Chain A
Amino acid sequence: MKGFGIIKGLGVTLKHIYDTYAEDIKAGRKRYYTKEGVLQRRTTDTKGIFTVNYPEERLAVPENFRFVPFLVYEDEDGEKVPRCTACGICSKVCPSQCIWITRAVDQETGKPLKTPAEFYIDIDLCMNCGYCAEHCPFDAIKMDHDYELANYDRTQNNIHDKERLLKPASYYAEIRPGYYAMEQKAKAEEEAKRAARRRPRE
Chain B
Amino acid sequence: MNEETKVLESFETAVLERFPDWVTPDEREGYQGLLVDPANLIDLMSSLRDELGYDHLTSLTGVDYLPDEKMEVVYHLVKSTGGPILEIKTQLPRSNPVAPSLVGLYPGAAFQEREAWDLLGIKFDGHPNLKRILMWEGFAGHPLRKDWVEAYHGEEKKPYDDRWPEGKARKIEADNPYRENVSYPEGFNPETWIPDTQELLFEGSQRFQLDDDLETEQLVVNLGPQHPSTHGVFRMVAKLEGETVVDLEPVMGYLHRNHEKIGEKNTFAMNMPYTDRLDYFCSMSNNFGYALTVEKLLGENYQPPERAQYIRVIMAELTRVLNHFMAIGFFLNDLGAYFTPALYTIKERELILDIFEAVAGSRMMCNYYRFGGVVRDLPEGMEEHIRKLVYERLPRQIDELDRYLVENEIVVARGRGVGVLTPEQAIGLSAAGPVLRASGVPYDIRRADPYSIYDRFDFDVAVRYHGDVYDRFLIRYDEIRQSIRILQQAIDGIPKGEVLANKKAYKYKMPKGEAYGRVEGPKGELGYYVVSDGTDNPWRYHVRAPSFINLTGLKQMCLGEKVADLVAILGSIDIVLGEVDR
Binding site for B on A (CB under 8 A): 2-6, 8-9, 11-13, 16, 42, 44-45, 50, 61-66, 86, 88-89, 91-95, 97, 99-103, 112, 118, 120, 122, 127-131, 134-135, 143, 159, 161
Contacts and interface: CB of A to CB of B under 8 A. Distances in A.
Contacts of B388: 44-45
A135 B506 contact: yes
Contacts of B128: none
A64 B392 contact: no
Given A65-B361, A92-B506, A6 B163 contact: no
Contacts of B169: 100, 120, 122, 159, 161
A130 B269 CA distance: 12
Q: Which of A88, A100, A103 has the most CB of B within 10 A?
A: A100
Contacts of B167: 91, 99-102, 118, 120
B539 to A, nearest CB: 18
B389 A97 contact: no
Nearest to A103: B165
Given A94-B159, A134-B504, A2 B168 contact: no
Nearest to A66: B361
B385 A44 contact: yes
Contacts of B272: 95, 129
A88 B165 contact: yes
B315 to A, nearest CB: 14
Nearest to B167: A100
User: Do most interface residues of chain B lie in helix, strand or loop, or is the interface mixed?
Assistant: helix
Contact of B365 (A65, A92, A101, A129): A129
B298 to A, nearest CB: 18
Given A5-B412, A42-B351, A128-B365, A89 B389 contact: no
Contact of A93 (B160, B362, B367, B506): B506
A43 B163 CA distance: 44
Closest 7 CB pairs of A and B: A100-B167, A5-B407, A120-B169, A88-B164, A129-B273, A95-B270, A62-B358
Contacts of B351: 42, 44
A3 B95 CA distance: 65
B404 A12 contact: yes
Given A44-B392, A44-B393, A64-B376, A9 B158 contact: no
B273 A8 contact: no
A84 B389 CA distance: 42
B405 interface: yes
26 contacts: A4-B407, A5-B406, A5-B409, A8-B403, A44-B389, A44-B392, A45-B392, A50-B350, A63-B358, A64-B358, A64-B376, A65-B361, A91-B164, A93-B159, A95-B158, A95-B271, A95-B274, A97-B163, A99-B167, A100-B167, A103-B164, A103-B165, A122-B171, A127-B365, A129-B365, A130-B361
A54 to B, nearest CB: 14
A8 B407 CA distance: 8
B500 to A, nearest CB: 11
User: Do most interface residues of chain A lie in helix, strand or loop, or is the interface mixed?
Assistant: mixed
A101 B409 contact: no
A128 B406 CA distance: 40
Q: Which of B163, B171, B269, B344 has the most CB of A within 10 A?
A: B163
Contact of A50 (B164, B347, B407): B347
Nearest to A16: B344
A109 to B, nearest CB: 16
A99 B409 CA distance: 56
B8 interface: no
Given A63-B379, A64-B359, A102-B166, A135 B367 contact: no
Contacts of A95: 158, 266, 270-274
A161 B169 CA distance: 9
Contacts of A93: 159, 269-270, 506
B177 interface: no
A159 B172 CA distance: 13
A108 to B, nearest CB: 19
Interface in B340-388: 340, 344, 347, 350-351, 354, 357-362, 365, 367, 375-376, 379, 385, 388
B367 A12 contact: no
Nearest to B347: A50
